[in-house]
């Protein structure tokens, strides 16, 4: 995984996401989820191509239950784009890279 993508937890979520000056794309995932692994190249592309405009974070739903529950994450992968502490976009499932990029970049 790209060095531009970092893992966060229930305890680091507020500081890493809600207080971020840049928009943050949070990938809610689990290690056993095949579609979650399918979108990794798309996340790496976003993290590298737009590294001065967006942060990409991963939150494991098996290891962290508080934040997924708060944001009503019912299936994975789910991507939430936060900007100024608010959810601006929700992407559910393993969409093609072009679609993920199209949805996210309109907020950058």
36 is catalytic: yes
**Contact at 8 Å (CB) between 24 and 16?**
yes
The active-site residue out of 5, 8, 17, 36 is 36
**Contact at 8 Å (CB) between 89 and 58?**
no
Please name every residue paired with 27 in a beta bridge, in sequence order, or none if there are none. 58, 79
The active-site residue out of 33, 47, 76, 100 is 33
Whole-number Cα distances in Å, 35 to 20, 77, 101: 27, 7, 17
- What DSSP letter does each residue of 68-102 carry, written as one string? HHHTT--SSSEEEEEETTEEEEEEES---HHHHHH
33 is catalytic: yes
**Catalytic residue annotation:** 33, 36
């Amino acid at each position: 995984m790209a060095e531009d993508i970092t893992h966060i937890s229930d305890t680091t979520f507020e500081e890493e996401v809600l207080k971020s000056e840049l928009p943050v794309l949070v990938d809610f995932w689990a290690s056993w989820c095949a579609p979650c692994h399918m979108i990794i190249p798309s996340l790496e592309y976003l993290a590298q191509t737009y590294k001065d405009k967006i942060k990409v974070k991963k939150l494991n739903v098996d290891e962290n239950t508080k934040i997924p529950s708060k944001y009503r994450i019912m299936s994975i992968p789910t991507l939430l784009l936060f900007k100024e502490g608010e959810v601006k976009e929700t992407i559910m499932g393993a969409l093609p890279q072009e679609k993920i990029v199209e949805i996210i970049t309109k907020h950058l």
